[in-house]
A and B are shown apart, each in its own frame.
Chain A
Amino acid sequence: MSQGIDVTNESIYYGQHKAVENVNVHINPRSVTALIGPSGCGKSTFLRSLNRMHEVIAGAYVEGEVRIDGEDIYAPGIDPVDVRGHVGMVFQRPNPFPTMSIADNVLAGIRLNNKKMKKSEADEVVERSLRGANLWEEVKDRLDRPGSSLSGGQQQRLCIARATAVQPDVLLMDEPCSALDPISTLAIEDLMTELKSTYTIVIVTHNMQQAARVSQMTGFFNIDGAGQPGHLVEFADTETIFSNPSEKATEDYVSGRFG
């Protein structure tokens, strides 16, 4: 993964309603890019368009191009299932599969393509992924316990392990810490800093301090009024956005005047 993500003139529609308008952005590979903005401004929708998850809702479609490492993921003939295998996602609330054990959760994505994995291979993948998510030490003795038996923060790290097990190129995180306590949040933020050396991470967050802590580049989304489409107002390196933004709306938002 060397070229990053290139979004050109992307607009996202839900049926007749235009949710996001004309986004142009380049996301650097192997870095953390944060997307901030008030509620309902389309940042989650945009994030989901990067792995075609918005198509889960009937009638959703996209105009424009999204190129991951040079490949347009919306080209005709490209299967969303395929895209999602290369672009992992971590959700707002931890969602390990309740009927599967911790080990099975980690292996869930891999097993889709690789039904007959040798036990040694599987164990290796489990350990590698859980170590990568900073969870191995805490759960290595109870890998066959159900995924839901962990605490919130541990569950979210399990979801990260599950997402990274298939070794995607990109990791999308949709407000991953919003349901967690501050200690777990910090743990996940540390994790993100480690993971960025391997994965390209795009994170949507409501927490501006979090964006300032973890990201190298930040994008500010805004919405002009109710019913209007959201759009990307400004995109620059994190320090600039928070100390010296060029748009007034950005400055108003990061200084807390609205949002």
Chain B
Amino acid sequence: MSESVVVEKEVDSPGPNIFRTGVRHLPRWAPWAVGAASALASLGIFRGSAGTSNIVGMTSVALLIYVAAMMILSRNYEGRRNSTDRLATTLIGGSFLLAVVPLLSLLYTVLVSGFDVMSLSFLNHTTEGMTLEGAIPGAGHAIVGTLEVTFSTALIAIPLGIFTAIYLVEYNGGWLAKVITFLVDIMTGIPSIVAGLFAAAMLPVLLGNPGYRSGFMGAVALVVLMTPLVVRNTEEMLRLVSNELREAAYALGVTKSRTIVKVVLRTALPGIVSGCVIATARIIGESAPLLITAGSTDYYNFSLFNDRVMTLPVFVYNQYVAGNFPLAWGGALVLVLLVLILNLIAKLIAHWFAPKGQ
């Protein structure tokens, strides 16, 4: 491509080789070769010494050498525009890899460190008396507590959220609907600790007991966090149902409520259920509100309304603060497994039960 702009167009003379303009491309193996060379160079600089700090240094230096070398090579061989394009590709691809690394590292650490401490006792025992000789502490009370609190939260938030979404989508609500939508928007932005503060502020006053702590209090906080997620997702799923479907039912004389239940909900159900499972997975990991509502304890507590209940996220936090890393990782493993399984279930539901032909 010629560098000058205003070129006299010559008429009827054989053009120059317009496509052979000296723009070449590096061969495909070039990045790999340069990468290997950078790694070797970096190894040479650090003289192969071990240790975390040296590995970190080695990798960073190798990356820098790679980028610099590729840029210089590319600029001289391929030209300015192609080298810029290649630099962009390198940085963009690199940023993706850089995002995957923490994820893989985290999953790996959770799996390996958590597995070390995993046993039936871990799932069974509690932290009661864990400082005593021969005690095998466990997270059983935390697991049960998490299930209690999460289940009661979902029990309240899911119907509340679904019906609100139905009201917003299927009924012409006027200004009331606008207010509700706005408030749901606000709810999606509430910091989790503030939701906890709300429950921790309200329930002791309502019950006249300033020292009140319970799993139910935690559930109240989590309901504030979970409901907007359910509303949003359900709204989206309901809106995906084509209007022709509703109109066909109305034209046949079906009542509105029947149409909603038997036609619209039926069609949107997989997406709605999947969304509820995902919302559950999200709040199962919330710790901040539970820290200040359900609190922590060393015992099993099967009562939702009396006294503190230990939950998995708070368990992980407490063990971390106490410096008991193995226990913390064990709790983290159970928590992450729960979250991942829930996410998987959600994906499967959405996939398998999706209405055919949509």
A and B touch in their complex, CB below 8 angstroms: yes
Partner of B1, one of A3, A73, A75, A82: A82
Q: For residue A124, which residues in chain B have a CB less than 8 angstroms away from its CB?
A: 6
Taking a contact as CB atoms under 8 Å apart, the answer to whether A71 and B9 are in contact is no
**Which residues from chain B sit less than 8 Å from chain A, CB to CB?**
1-3, 5-7, 9, 12-15, 17-21, 23-25, 81-82
Minimum CB–CB distance for A113 against chain B, Å: 5
A141 within 8 A of B: no
Q: For residue A18, which residues in chain B have a CB less than 8 angstroms away from its CB?
A: none
Other CB < 8 Å A-B pairs besides A2-B14, A114-B3, 6 of them?
A69-B18, A112-B81, A113-B3, A117-B5, A167-B9, A198-B9
Q: What are the nearest 9 A-B pairs in CB distance?
A: A71-B19, A69-B15, A113-B1, A85-B1, A78-B19, A86-B18, A2-B12, A79-B23, A82-B23
Indicate the member of B17, B19, B23, B25 with the most A CB atoms within 10 Å.
B19
CA distance A21 to B167 in the complex (A): 57
Partner of A1, one of B6, B15, B23: B15
Taking a contact as CB atoms under 8 Å apart, the answer to whether B24 and A77 are in contact is yes
Partner of A121, one of B2, B5, B18: B5
Taking a contact as CB atoms under 8 Å apart, the answer to whether A71 and B81 are in contact is no
CA distance A114 to B82 in the complex (A): 14
Q: For residue A79, which residues in chain B have a CB less than 8 angstroms away from its CB?
A: 23, 25, 82
Chain B binding site: helix, strand, loop or mixed by DSSP? loop
A47 within 8 A of B: no
Q: Give 23 CB contacts A-B under 8 Å.
A: A2-B12, A3-B14, A68-B19, A69-B14, A69-B18, A70-B14, A71-B18, A73-B19, A77-B24, A79-B23, A79-B25, A81-B81, A82-B19, A82-B21, A83-B19, A85-B1, A86-B19, A110-B5, A113-B2, A113-B81, A114-B3, A128-B6, A167-B7
Taking a contact as CB atoms under 8 Å apart, the answer to whether B18 and A169 are in contact is yes
A204 within 8 A of B: no
Taking a contact as CB atoms under 8 Å apart, the answer to whether B5 and A114 are in contact is yes
Minimum CB–CB distance for A241 against chain B, Å: 27
Q: For residue B2, which residues in chain A have a CB less than 8 angstroms away from its CB?
A: 113
A232 within 8 A of B: no
CA distance A84 to B276 in the complex (A): 50
CA distance A70 to B20 in the complex (A): 12
Indicate the member of A82, A124, A169 with the most B CB atoms within 10 Å.
A82
Q: Which A97-118 residues have C-beta < 8 A from chain B?
A: 110, 112-114, 117
